[in-house]
Amino acid sequence: MAQQAMQPNAGRQKTTGSLFASDHRPHPLQDILLWVTAVVGVTAFISGMFDNLHLLSSWAGLIGILTGLYGQFVSVTTHERFALIMGLGSSAVGFYLGMAHGGLFGGVLG
């Protein structure tokens, strides 16, 4: 027993956590939501700078906002929440720029 007091993790099995998990436990759902939000957010942000890509930026921004909000709802660690906020911000900027340049259905319907 004295050995376990000196080594608190001696009886536990070590698991590798994700990059953003500060509790060193795997969070597969949160990681997927984080990366989807980040990739879609960067896509929406960059494509929002061009007038003719308003469909891509507005839809990518909307998807990024929705996945980022759900990711915030189920996130466990502060690192995940911070990265999700960065993705949410870039998704929102891309979404609003896409809406200003023509919107979700601009020129496609009617």
> Dihedrals φ, ψ of 13, to 5°?
-85, 130
Rounded mean pLDDT of 36-51? 96
- At residue 95's C-alpha, the angle toward residues 79 and 57, to 5°, is 105
pTM over 0.95: no
Task: Yes or no: say if 31 and 20 are a contact pair by the CB < 8 Å rule.
Answer: yes
The fraction of the chain above a pLDDT of 90, given in percent, is 64
Question: In this predicted structure, what is the pLDDT of residue 26?
Answer: 86
Task: Find out whether 73 and 29 touch, Cβ atoms under 8 Å.
Answer: no
Please tell me the predicted confidence (pLDDT) of residue 20: 65
Which residue type occupies 31? D
